[in-house]
Amino acid sequence: MNNDPAFKQITDFIKETFNTNEFIPLHEPRFVGKEKDYVIDTIESTFVSSVGQFVIDFEKKIAEYTGAKYAVAAVNGTAALHIALILAGVKPDDEVITQPLTFVATANAITYTGAKHVFIDIDKDTLGLSPEKLNSWLQKNAVKKGDRTINKTTGRRIAAIVPMHTFGHPTRIDQIIEIGNKFNIPVVEDAAESLGSFYKSKHTGTFGKLGIFSFNGNKIITTGGGGMIVTDDEELAKTAKHITTTAKVPHPYEYFHDMLGYNYRLTNLAAALGVAQMEQLPVFIDKKRNLADQYREFFEQFDEITFVSEPKNSKSNYWLNAIIFKDKIQRDNFLEFSNKNKVMTRPAWVLMNKLPMYNNCQTDDISNATWIADRLVNIPSSVII
């Protein structure tokens, strides 16, 4: 099985496409713009730390690009999500709904607030939270008490819904927002992977009460490490800035902090990278969509492999390309073969409810997530310069 001729055909195609016989990583950053100039600027000005013009400019660029009214930089995407959940009103012993197929940061940020998880299934076409399954779980389990929505079984308040736009592909976010409104539960979008992805022409991350992005080294643009909170609510944006910068009340010399704050700010040094990367984002997206087109065309010849294309009504950034095998055995054999042959591939994340920290959490029917987790492989997706 390891000698499946299709496997070699695939790795050969990837080597040809990336034009190399060396090791091909899953996703590597590209610094082909003004990164060096801007980083040197911060050093020469001494403004490398938490204050500086690049932080302001980076926030402005993200707000402009996404159409969000406000953007607040944070030290990484996980911290951004932690704060976004707090600002959405999530408190210890509340419950937060999210999908089992996601990077661990989504679940961890929920834990940091002290809330408990409910894992609801994804759809096979979007790989994101399923509106139908969300709705049916809430119909069965949720009851409104005044302005609170309570889980009938546990007695806990259901405080937020956190959909994630998997690999950059937008989920059916408008329907999720509608369900959230119906049950009076705010939506916080984990758009960590979907900078540059639009659903019905509106940028992902801007549908919910708050949204977050990540600029980790493997994301579509990177600041080394970094994140961003976006919202249209001015008060929430102000509080986001305040709480991520130790909640210090501005004063010429006094150190007074009026609430529990966090040191979650993005450095000016990192933001300098961010500004330079944002200047290239449109080119990165064109090239990524072009690579996805090449992959799609190539994989059409295999009856037993499906290339994951952007869902209906959406424009994806194609951050990480993915293929789906007909069963787990073939998938595992391909993982083995490709990684041995210097083409980095990886399976989808182990589902959150299978991790030791989360294996006691509430789940509903998660058959789609299980099906995908058994069959999906991410394939090299770096921007080809």
Ligand X SMILES: *Cc1c(COP(=O)(O)O)cnc(C)c1O
**Contacts to ligand X by CB under 6 A:** 76-78, 102-103, 105-106, 164, 190, 192-193, 214, 216, 227
**Nearest approach, Cβ of residue 213 and ligand X (Å):** 8
Rank residues 162 and 324 by Cβ distance to ligand X and give the closer one: 162
**Nearest approach, Cβ of residue 143 and ligand X (Å):** 30
Rank residues 113 and 214 by Cβ distance to ligand X and give the closer one: 214
**Nearest approach, Cβ of residue 43 and ligand X (Å):** 24
**Nearest approach, Cβ of residue 50 and ligand X (Å):** 17
**Nearest approach, Cβ of residue 77 and ligand X (Å):** 3
Rank residues 151 and 194 by Cβ distance to ligand X and give the closer one: 194
Rank residues 128 and 380 by Cβ distance to ligand X and give the closer one: 128
Q: Contact 378/288 with Cβ under 8 angstroms?
A: no
Select from 181, 257, 234 the least CA-distant residue to 72: 234
Q: Which residue has the tokens 């294309």?
A: 309
Q: Count CB atoms within 10 A of the CB of residue 240.
A: 27
**Nearest approach, Cβ of residue 296 and ligand X (Å):** 23
**Nearest approach, Cβ of residue 314 and ligand X (Å):** 17
Q: What are phi and psi of 39, to 5 degrees?
A: -65, -40
Hey, what are 359's tokens? 């294996």
Rank residues 10 and 118 by Cβ distance to ligand X and give the closer one: 118
Q: Contact 242/229 with Cβ under 8 angstroms?
A: no
Rank residues 61 and 157 by Cβ distance to ligand X and give the closer one: 61
Closest CB to ligand X: residue number: 77
Angle between helices 268-299 and 35-45 (to 10 degrees): 170
**Nearest approach, Cβ of residue 106 and ligand X (Å):** 5
Rank residues 71 and 142 by Cβ distance to ligand X and give the closer one: 71
**Nearest approach, Cβ of residue 109 and ligand X (Å):** 7
How remote is the C-alpha of 243 from its chain's centroid? 22
Rank residues 193 and 310 by Cβ distance to ligand X and give the closer one: 193
Q: Contact 213/189 with Cβ under 8 angstroms?
A: no
Q: Contact 163/98 with Cβ under 8 angstroms?
A: yes
Rank residues 6 and 344 by Cβ distance to ligand X and give the closer one: 344
**Nearest approach, Cβ of residue 320 and ligand X (Å):** 9
Rank residues 214 and 345 by Cβ distance to ligand X and give the closer one: 214
